[in-house]
Chains A and B, each alone.
Chain A
Amino acid sequence: MKTKDFITIDAIDTTPKTHGDILIEARDVEVIFNLRGRKLKALRRAGLELRSGETMTVVGESGSGKSVLSKTLIGMLDKNGKITGGSIIYRGVDLVKVTDEQDWLAIRGKRIAMIFQDPMTALNPLKKIGEQIREVIVLHRGLDAMASRIAALDMLVKVGITDPERRYEQYPHEFSGGMRQRVVIATAIACNPEILICDEPTTALDVTIQAQILDLIKKLQKDMGLSVLFITHDLGVVAKMADRIAVMYAGQVVEEGTVEDVFYDARHPYTWALLASLPQLGIKGKELFAIKGTPPSLFKEIQGDAFAPRNPFALEVDFYHEPPMFEVSSTHRARTWYLDPRAPKVEPPEVVVRLREHLKQTTGR
């Protein structure tokens, strides 16, 4: 099979990027799902930036839209979903406008790769894992049988699988969860993509294995110059992996900035609430902090700030008008009326202040 035939997006700008250049710029993306006859707005003008060589983590609760956003980047929304607005510019091409499956073939695997959450079901149970890596190589790099096999073995070594020759011939059920995820990663990077999207790859794994996989991803990023979009709901993972963070709530990115920006200088009340709920900040004897209430239903139109009902310090305006993105600095943005010059000065809860101290002590940053 020759992939050369499938490259029809000639518009892709192939100039090499330097570290820090913006690779993907998503703006005002809207996605609607058709569910049992009702419409669910999963993304409500979400946007973010992915920069070359960096790890951008997207944090949020279930239902915040983080998975949906990642799926739009490789054109794999579920059948009942549609992108109804916004743009996602990647190397001069608006991915929102790419509808032809043939065009996507030039991007998936080759330029943007994705690994999913559950390693147990991500691999074909009836095919040898070596083959599953090799077929991608054959397809995208056009190597012959022998060369592609060697390349596949190479990948296995790269992801830290010992005894690759033997492992190559084995089937997925002969691997443990962590090993399977390594194989999945190997398959994803087999064609040297520029961007790797990781959709909660460690959620289904043991904590100890989790650390190993995260280390592996970081190592691969350094070795291969990957740009990583990492989706997770675990702030601990964020602290470990992130260069930049995007916080999502109810289908929107509510805060975006570098790790320092978000951890030390968070501006959005939801981010405060997230940080405050870290158990590490709990004081012995006192109740742990938890955000009251539940995220809003995305079936209904949301008026104003989506987080307002759960925010004990909300302003009147939060219930009527949706806040625009305010710039805190060149790297830091947040969607909250607190940043409007007309707003009163609001201090983050003491928990957050304590976090800063805690972080300074433990990481020395």
Chain B
Amino acid sequence: MGKYILRRFWQSIITVLIVLFVMFMLLRLMPKENYFTRDDYINMTEEDRTAYLRNLGVLDNPFVQFFKFIRGFVTGDLGRSITVYPKTPITEILKEKIPYSLWFGLVSVLLSVVLGFLMGISMANNKDKLADQLGTIYVVAVRAIPSLVYLFLIQMWVTHIFNLPMVFYEDEPASWILPAISLSLSGIAWYAIWLRRFMVDEENKDYIKFAIAKGLPRSYVMKRHVLRNALVPLVQYLPSQILLTIAGSLIIESIYSIPGMGGLLVYAIRQQDNTLVQALVCIYSILGVFGVFIGDILMAIVDPRIKLTSAKVEREVTA
């Protein structure tokens, strides 16, 4: 087991480096003007600009830049923001922003998992009946309609109906509720539909038929065999889902004015703050890879069939 973990860990590190490299190189395609604020660009002379860029390290060979970036990354230096918080070290900015994203992220994940599982189980148990159909309507609505649409409408209507604040204030507890719930909506749909699918798949397997032939009651079989076995493939995707409530958080943090990492990224893009965008994008990428890594480890722990030195675990591409 330890060997497997170590192997996957190194694979992840390499994947991270490759991903960061790709991201980094893509960013290098950026036209140089974007490193300046408009005023600065106009006011500085060509020489000053060149000097500034050289200082930033942007004029060096891309590979050298990448190396320096990685080195900085590992030592905790992510560069400085250019336009959003000029000259402020990014690590400091992040220190302030991360707690909010973290809090909302964790809470929404908890809600998603609990509610999603309950819904998924109920849907699987009542396959094709009312509960299943209602659940399907919910899932379809959340997955087909762009999240911005329903999140925005929720912000407009639900706050009106329940008299909740539309903007997030740290001191106002009521303003914490709606963003957290909104953030969990797509997660609920995701967990519900996947758990239902896995459970339905398990139900059709031979050993379930044998379990029933043994005389075990259906409810017992659903709980102790179907559900338990269906959770196993699900476990693999759990961590990456947890780490990646990004798209939702970008929108939520923006529309509710929550000072978190997602909102920061949106703002950084709008303000064209290259270094900040770069740092954030890299962090999100690392989270992504890390999530997959933890997922594989969890799966190996939970599934006894995966032996210690087994080959790569095949991963399905999930939307």
Contact = CB atoms under 8 A, between A and B. Distances in A.
Direct contact of A and B (CB under 8 A): yes
Interface of A: 1, 6, 74, 76, 101-102, 104-105, 107-110, 113-114, 116, 118, 121-127, 135-136, 139-140, 171, 173, 184, 187-188, 191
Contact of A171 (B205, B213, B305): B305
A124 B304 contact: no
A184 B305 CA distance: 19
Given A121-B205, A139-B220, A108 B215 contact: yes
A118 B214 CA distance: 15
B213 A114 contact: yes
Interface stretch (B56-64, B193-201, B224-232): B224-232
A184 B213 CA distance: 11
Contact of B217 (A74, A105, A173, A191): A105
Contacts of B228: 126-127
A118 B224 CA distance: 22
Nearest to A126: B229
B211 interface: yes
Given A124-B225, A173-B305, A113 B214 contact: yes
A135 B224 contact: yes
The interface residues of chain B, by DSSP majority, are classed as helix
B146 to A, nearest CB: 38
Contacts of B305: 125-126, 171, 173
A76 B213 contact: yes
22 contacts: A1-B220, A76-B209, A76-B212, A76-B213, A101-B217, A109-B213, A110-B215, A113-B215, A114-B213, A118-B206, A122-B210, A125-B304, A126-B232, A126-B303, A126-B305, A127-B228, A135-B224, A136-B214, A136-B216, A139-B215, A184-B210, A188-B214
A139 B224 CA distance: 13
Contacts of B217: 1, 6, 101-102, 105, 139
Given A116-B210, A123-B207, A136 B220 contact: no
A186 B140 CA distance: 46
B202 to A, nearest CB: 9
B218 interface: yes
Contacts of A113: 213-215
Nearest to B305: A173
B221 to A, nearest CB: 10
Contact of B206 (A122, A126, A135): A122
What is the size category of the interface that chain B forms with chain A? 20 to 34
B214 A108 contact: yes
A10 B89 CA distance: 79
Contacts of B215: 104-105, 107-110, 113, 136, 139-140, 191
B212 A122 contact: no
The interface residues of chain A, by DSSP majority, are classed as loop
B209 A116 contact: yes
A108 B207 contact: no
A78 B211 CA distance: 15
Nearest to B218: A101
A250 B220 CA distance: 37
A247 to B, nearest CB: 25
Nearest to B211: A124
A108 B205 CA distance: 19
> Interface centre among B215, B216, B220, B229, by most A CB within 10 Å?
B215
A74 B304 contact: no
Contacts of A105: 215, 217
Given A113-B214, A124-B211, 18 more contacts: A102-B217, A105-B215, A108-B212, A109-B214, A109-B216, A113-B215, A114-B213, A116-B209, A116-B213, A121-B206, A126-B229, A135-B216, A139-B217, A171-B305, A173-B305, A184-B210, A187-B214, A188-B214
Contacts of A109: 213-216
Contacts of B225: 124, 127
Contacts of A140: 215
B97 to A, nearest CB: 41
Nearest to A187: B214
B207 A121 contact: yes
* Nearest 9 Cβ contacts at the A-B interface: A109-B215, A108-B215, A121-B206, A122-B210, A109-B214, A114-B213, A124-B207, A171-B304, A136-B214
Contacts of A102: 217
A125 B206 CA distance: 11
B234 to A, nearest CB: 13
